Amino acid sequence: MVRGTGCLYVRFGGMGEVWIPGSRRSLSDRKEQLECLVAFTERRWTLELVAQLDLLGTASRSALNHRLPDVNRRLIAKTLRHMVDRGWLAREPPRHYRLTESGQQIAWPVSRLLFRLRRMRILKLARRRWSLPVLLALAEEKPRFNELKRLLPDITSRGLSSAVKRLQGARLVTRRVLHTYGPQTQYGLAPRATPIVELLVRFPYGHQYVYGKRCGGRVGRLLPLQRVH
């Protein structure tokens, strides 16, 4: 990892997996980044709404409903409230919304991520709450199930098992059974996950402008914001 940039270089390891060499982040830094990503992906339509408001500038809820016709209106309303609470959106009279400075900072990386997800035809999978956090958690090592669970805040064993199976089915995650005393399972990133992981590790995690005043209950640390080319 290049210190201060939040950038990790992804290379291909053995057995068809991806590993990321170089100096590793501390466990507390990794958990903080994962808390931020979990908060950002808590509502499945956050990514699309950020991209739409970045395109439109200011929009009413009815205009956003029109732009996302396949999404339940109540889900859009709940997501908008969530985004306002997090500090990514601001309300404008009478019933319009616009991106705050925090939302504007994250809009460009979100647009790049959505482009990749659509191109790979995995956008529907990425909307599931734990899909992207699991990929980020696997960016630096190949943990066992319980180790992976400890990295992700508030995830249940059932939720993690379901997320890993979905990612396996999409050929984004690998699973290896370790023939130890008491067989254990080890997970890693598949090469197909590289384009997504390259974007996730470069998100400006902890930046006060990206994740508002607080992320995961803690004040975010100031880190430089860089665009992904």
CB 26 within 8 A of CB 40: no
Phi, psi dihedral angles at 186 (to 5 degrees):
-120, 140
Tokens 């090592």 locate to 141
Closest residue by Cα to residue 101 from 222, 208, 206, 214: 208
Among the residues of 152-221, which ranges form H helices?
A: 157-169, 194-200
Q: Distance between CA 92 and CA 133 in Å, rounded?
A: 32
Give the number of C-alpha atoms closer than 13 A to the C-alpha of residue 137, restricted to the C-beta side: 30
pLDDT for position 113: 94
Q: Distance between CA 11 and CA 225 in Å, rounded?
A: 23
| 47 pLDDT higher than 60 | yes
CB 113 within 8 A of CB 48: no
Closest residue by Cα to residue 70 from 125, 129, 124: 124
pLDDT for position 24: 56
- Contacts for 62-67: CB closer than 8 Å, 24+ residues apart: 64/97
Q: Which of 118-127, 163-172, 197-206 has the lowest mean pLDDT?
A: 197-206
Mean pLDDT of the region 31-53: 89
Q: Distance between CA 225 and CA 173 in Å, rounded?
A: 28
Q: Which domains does the chain have, with CATH numbers?
A: 11-42+129-216 (1.10.10.10), 46-104 (1.10.10.10)
CB 160 within 8 A of CB 134: yes
Supply the pTM of this predicted model: 0.78
Q: What is the pLDDT of residues 60-105, one digit of tens each?
A: 999 999 999 999 999 999 999 999 988 889 999 888 999 998 888 8
| 219 pLDDT higher than 50 | no
What is the pairing mode between strands 173-178 and 96-99?
unpaired
